Chains A and B, each alone.
Chain A
Amino acid sequence: NAGVTQTPKFQVLKTGQSMTLQCAQDMNHEYMSWYRQDPGMGLRLIHYSVGAGITDQGEVPNGYNVSRSTTEDFPLRLLSAAPSQTSVYFCASSPDSVRGTEAFFGQGTRLTVV
């Protein structure tokens, strides 16, 4: 059971380039979310999804797009990378929307924008 898989693990982009961070889970979880982790800021929610075809914005959505066409996959797209998007990105999934459900995290993608 692989859990939550993120690719790539590391990425360097030039300002203005676009890319997609991949996230896949094999636990049949309805909930998926993307966070970014910055020093001194903890984890901040970017976007989340409560099921296939349904997404919503989190605390820091600007500059990012998401879609959820299948239960398993939840890619995060950077439209035009900026140095402020240099961060570590984590994808998480959880079984349902009931409050109190544990989240499972991927290993993270470390992104540097130069």
Chain B
Amino acid sequence: GDSVTQMEGPVTLSEEAFLTINCTYTATGYPSLFWYVQYPGEGLQLLLKATKADDKGSNKGFEATYRKETTSFHLEKGSVQVSDSAVYFCALPNSGNTPLVFGKGTRLSVIA
């Protein structure tokens, strides 16, 4: 089936540092790709998505570009804040009618 591999954490950054979280995928065809975020004690919520190759999803200063040639969807932010501390998950729909398959998550801690 389809799968997602994302970089292991945890990642600790100082405020205003540049963030990259790597995500690569294996999929049949060209599904939409997603980044979800989980703040402490909460459920997952959609951060951004891209629906086709070369699309760039963006939200709250985060960006990710759907790269078909490298099968990647890396998450970036130019200047992180303490409030960005959370767990980030890369995801894609599995083949057929099955729901989303997730990477293992990357915990980000931003210190002031």
Q: Which residues of A contact B (CB under 8 A)?
A: 4, 31, 33, 35, 40-43, 45, 48, 50, 56, 58, 90, 92, 94, 97, 99-103, 105-108
B44 partner, pick from A48, A90, A99, A101, beta carbons under 8 A: A90
Using a Cβ cutoff of 8 Å, how many contacts connect chains A and B?
59
Interface, chain B (partner A; CB < 8 A): 29, 31-32, 34, 36, 42-46, 49, 51, 89, 93, 97-105
CA distance A18 to B34 in the complex (A): 35
Give A33 to B101 CA distance when docked, in angstroms: 11
Given contacts A107-B42, A107-B43, contact A102 B98 (CB under 8 A): no
Q: When the two chains form the complex, which single residue of B34, B42, B46, B104 contacts A42, counting CB atoms closer than 8 Å?
A: B104
Contact B101 A45 (CB under 8 A): yes
B23 nearest CB across to chain A (Å): 12
* Chain A residues in 8 Å Cβ range of B29: 99
Q: Judging by beta carbons under 8 Å apart, are B46 and A102 in contact?
A: yes
Q: Which residues of B contact A90 (CB under 8 A)?
A: 43-44
A31/B99 in contact, CB under 8 A: yes
Contacts A105-B44, A108-B43; A33 near B31 (Cβ below 8 A): no
Assess the A97–B46 pair: CB atoms within 8 A. Answer: no
Distance of A58 Cα from B44 Cα, bound (Å)? 19
CB distance from A6 to the nearest CB of B (A): 8
